[in-house]
Amino acid sequence: PAYDTLLVETRGAVGLITLNRPKALNALNAQVIGELARAFEAMEADEAVGAVVVTGSEKAFAAGADIKEMAAKTYAEAFLEDFTPVWRRLVACRKPSIAAVSGYALGGGCELAMMCDMIFAADSAKFGQPEITLGIIPGFGGTQRLAKAVGKAKAMDLILTGRMMDAAEAERCGLVARVVPAERLLDEALEAAAKIAGFSRLATLAAKEAVDVASEASLAEGVRFERRLFQGLFATEDQKEGMAAFVEKRKPAFRNR
């Protein structure tokens, strides 16, 4: 098969990537990370896919980077192997993504969830960056993305104490977009992704790109960037179709043009 540690499928216009390394609670070893990058590239390349859902098992989204794989590593090995380019391939996906998190999202697992565009959490979800308990710190972007998502106070608390937070706290502090009963989690994520995939892809990709600029640029630069994208969408057939459909009180048929 193309993937050993993932299940990769499409459901209508939604790509579904399921971490499938149950014996290690979906711990992210080099193979899983490489396959994730490949799966995201496949979703990006598949014209039929308009949005992507990443999920794990009921017990664990992912319990972190693989500690057994990391344990004996030297500085030189860690330095030379640097996973940053591999994660960059995943983050480079322009299609909107949802992490559907049930159970543990710890360390690299929490960082993977934060690389997606939004997180839906089961009420059973537990988020944390426990790296400090292992004598290291987050290394897949956790100190940066968590601080941006929840602010300095909560990021310092989680990263310095290594404690976990539950779904309710994660929603309160803005890490999580929605909390749903565990048995509803995947359906809720797939339905949201299908909804996104049903809109004009020109608009959904532009919306994602514009929101992402908010964490990089000044307000003035970000607003200018948004305005240019907004204006550009008036050159699309989908804008004409979307507005005509509203006026004519019918459903729009977007064609991604």
Q: Active-site residues: which are they?
A: 65, 108, 111, 131
Cα 72 to Cα 21: distance, rounded to the nearest angstrom: 21
Q: Considering only 22-30, 48-56, 87-95, 225-233, which stretch makes contact with ligand HXC by CB under 6 A? A: 22-30
Residue 50 makes contact with ligand HXC by CB under 6 A: no
Phi-psi region of 228 (alpha: psi -120 to 50; beta: other; left: phi over 0): alpha
Residue 114 makes contact with ligand HXC by CB under 6 A: no
Residue 24 makes contact with ligand HXC by CB under 6 A: yes
The DSSP annotation for 15-52 comes to EEEEE--GGGTT-B-HHHHHHHHHHHHHHHH-TT--EE
Q: How many residues does the chain have?
A: 257
DSSP reduced 3-state for 116: coil
Nearest residue (CB) to ligand HXC, 127 versus 140 = 140
Output the smallest distance, CB 148 to ligand HXC, in A.
17
Residue 134 makes contact with ligand HXC by CB under 6 A: yes
> Do 58 and 103 meet the contact criterion of CB atoms below 8 Å apart?
yes
Which DSSP symbol is given to 65? Answer: B
Residue 131 makes contact with ligand HXC by CB under 6 A: yes
Residue 87 makes contact with ligand HXC by CB under 6 A: no
Residue 130 makes contact with ligand HXC by CB under 6 A: yes
Output the smallest distance, CB 3 to ligand HXC, in A.
19
Which residue among 16, 19, 32, 65 contacts ligand HXC (CB under 6 A)? Answer: 65
> Do 43 and 49 meet the contact criterion of CB atoms below 8 Å apart?
yes
Closest among 134, 137, 122, 254 to 201, alpha carbons compared = 254
**Quick one: the chain helix, strand, coil %, rounded to 5?**
50, 15, 30
Nearest residue (CB) to ligand HXC, 65 versus 170 = 65
Q: How far is CA 5 from the centre of its chain?
A: 18
Nearest residue (CB) to ligand HXC, 15 versus 108 = 108
Which residue among 34, 139, 198, 222 contacts ligand HXC (CB under 6 A)? Answer: 139
Residue 117 makes contact with ligand HXC by CB under 6 A: no
Strand order in the sheet with 164-166: 60-62, 104-106, 126-128, 164-166
Residue 197 makes contact with ligand HXC by CB under 6 A: no
Residue 66 makes contact with ligand HXC by CB under 6 A: yes
Output the smallest distance, CB 27 to ligand HXC, in A.
3
Cα 137 to Cα 130: distance, rounded to the nearest angstrom: 8
Which residue among 2, 45, 47, 68 contacts ligand HXC (CB under 6 A)? Answer: 68
- Note the residues at the interface with ligand HXC (CB under 6 A): 24-25, 27, 63-68, 104, 106-108, 130-131, 134, 138-140
